[in-house]
Amino acid sequence: MNERNLERIPRSCGLKIKAVYATLKTAERNATDFILQNPDEVKDLTIVEFAHKARCSEATIVRLSKRLGYRGFPELKADFADLAEGGEDGLEYRGIQKKDSPEEVVQKVVDATIEALRDTVAIMDKKEYGKALKAIVNAPNILFCGVGDAALVAMEAYQRFVRVGQNCCTSEDPDLQLILATNLGKADVVVAVSHSGKSATVINAVKAAKQAGATVVAITNFPVSPLTKNSDIVLLTAVFTQHITGEVISKRVSELCIIESLYINYLLQKGKVAMRTLAASNEAVTVNKLWT
């Protein structure tokens, strides 16, 4: 599956493709691959033209349209046409226009973030999440990895878990990431954060960690990527932007919410010991607070 072009198709359609792709029959998969490879063409094709280009029958296209949540091919086409008429070129958010007032822009940015969070919950694999939580709860050591603004997510995760007494580490330096990953053991865990799943430094650290015998938990937006191929457990977000390189805040908010939920569940499972450590940590930092 060409996951890159998921960014260029309607959000709901992309979510459904991610959910059903592995279960599609060969002909349906051919039609889906055509959509992913040629998203800009879909709105202009008749069902006959689509079938010819996708090397499948017209009946297959109708079945696929319904599997993707549409009543038929015309509705699928209309969804792609609406997307083509959407936001301004260069903006990362769909649907934002130059004519929008500042208040409308605020509303659309907030709405997009809320949608991303809801979609992330909707596609969450409960078994994978449970495996990730179990690995983290039982880990002697945890390494949080990220590059660029994903490093901020890794740092936030580190600060959350270190406050409750968990041995963990993080670093934005790619060489130090490799060193930390190499020094992990078999029961240890790496939590790797990368929206695209293609961040080279993160993937290198993950490979080093796997060679050391550690368990790799990936937090990413794309189920088919170099990161997922090198991970033991994958937690998916569902954030689609106007451009593949779009640095929208909803990417990181979704990742942070996954981290926060793991942290809260960790506290619940560790119980009184972790709670006492957290209380002591909170008390310790009060000396740096200003009182009036």
The DSSP-derived string for 138-179 is H-S-EEEE--TTHHHHHHHHHHHHHTTT--EEE-S-HHHHHH
Residues 157 and 91: their CA atoms lie apart, in Å, by 29
Say how far apart CA 149 and CA 254 lie, in whole Å: 13
Average pLDDT over residues 7-36: 84
Question: How far, in Å, are 9, 37, 39, 151, 160 from residue 78 at the CA level?
Answer: 12, 18, 12, 39, 45
Closest CA to 259 of 152, 179, 171, 187: 152
Residue whose entry in the numeric block shows the structure tokens 């960690």: 209
Contact (CB, 8 A) for 169 and 180 = yes
How would residue 89 be classed by pLDDT, with cut points 50, 70 and 90?
Answer: very low
CATH of 124-282, one of 3.20.19.10, 3.40.50.150, 3.40.50.300, 3.40.50.10490: 3.40.50.10490
Q: Averaged over 155-179, what is the pLDDT? A: 95
Residue 150 main-chain phi, psi, to 5 deg: -65, -25
Cα of 290 vs its chain's centroid, Å? 38
Confidence of residue 214 (pLDDT cuts 50, 70, 90): very high
pLDDT at 95: 67
Rg (CA), the chain: 22
With CA atoms as reference, report the closest residue to 7 among 65, 110, 86, 73: 86
pLDDT over 50 (residue 180) = yes
Rounded CA separation 11/225 (Å): 19
For domain 3-88, give the fold. Answer: Arc Repressor Mutant, subunit A (1.10.10)
Instruction: Locate the domains of the chain by residue range.
Output: 3-88, 124-282
| Identity of residue 4 | R
Confidence bin at 87 (pLDDT 50/70/90): very low
Q: Is the pLDDT of residue 86 over 60?
A: no
Q: What is the mean pLDDT of the chain?
A: 87
Q: Are 177 and 192 in contact (CB under 8 A)?
A: no
Per-residue pLDDT, 222: 80
Lowest mean pLDDT among 29-38, 90-99, 171-180, 197-206: 90-99
